[in-house]
Structure 1
Amino acid sequence: MKQINYLWLVLALCMLGSCSTAKKNQAKKNMVKLSALQGEVSLKKGQKAYYEASVHGSVGYTVSVLVQNDAVLKFVESNYTYKNPEKSHMSGGDEGIKTYVFEAAKPGQAVLKIIEKFRGDVRNTHRIKIDVKDK
């Protein structure tokens, strides 16, 4: 009987995890996906956008994202999704995707600066010019 209860508990936790992921993916559908190679993007006031980067902190791969003119492009939140959640507590198991979410706050121009580092050394720097227009 304990095995059956344990099985139901595991199934319920898996469903909760997939619902959480599904909610995040649904939210992304209503946002503009930013790419480091885009160069320029236009957004409408109130519209949200996100940038995703692969990171693996224990190996040394990290990313920093800076908003130049945060009155125009407001940072909303960031979240992290492990590549293998079941291995996240293990050595080297911290590989995943870091997602940064932004909102076009008011008309104007901003620059999103993306800095990719490996073991503290800057490997790449990208800039995305964001042009926010009134609705």
Structure 2
Amino acid sequence: MLVRQLQEAEKTDRKIVDPNGNWDSTRLLLKDDNMGFSFHITTIYEGADFRMHYQNHLESVYCISGEGEVETLDDGKKYAITPGTLYNLDKHDKHMLRAFKEMKLACVFNPPLHGTEVHNKDGAYELEADTISD
């Protein structure tokens, strides 16, 4: 059995901070954990407004706290994000994420992330990245 505490993981290299200042993400499960997906607790900072396009991954996001919106760029639809909202980027959707109040999100990625990924110039995570060790 694999057990990790968020508060402990936040003190390690499992906590990745966006170089652009929009978010931080504590990666609780990664590719090397052999679960077939990765699981992260991500904080989107209040006022963040940025573009993403996960070309290599599918993502499911559950809002724990905060308030914001996600906009799908192909059709311009906007969806409110509040506690209890689940949204799924099941078509590699190009999207904008906005945080009106700091948001705490639980995120699942398939295929799983390696650990150190941050968004590239297209707003995607690369398939290969440095692995984080315990």
If the TM-score is normalised by the length of the shorter chain, which range does it land in?
0.3 to 0.5
Determine which structure has the larger helix proportion and give its number.
1
The two structures have a TM-score, normalised by structure 2, of 0.33
The two structures have a TM-score, normalised by structure 1, of 0.33
Say which one has the larger Rg.
1
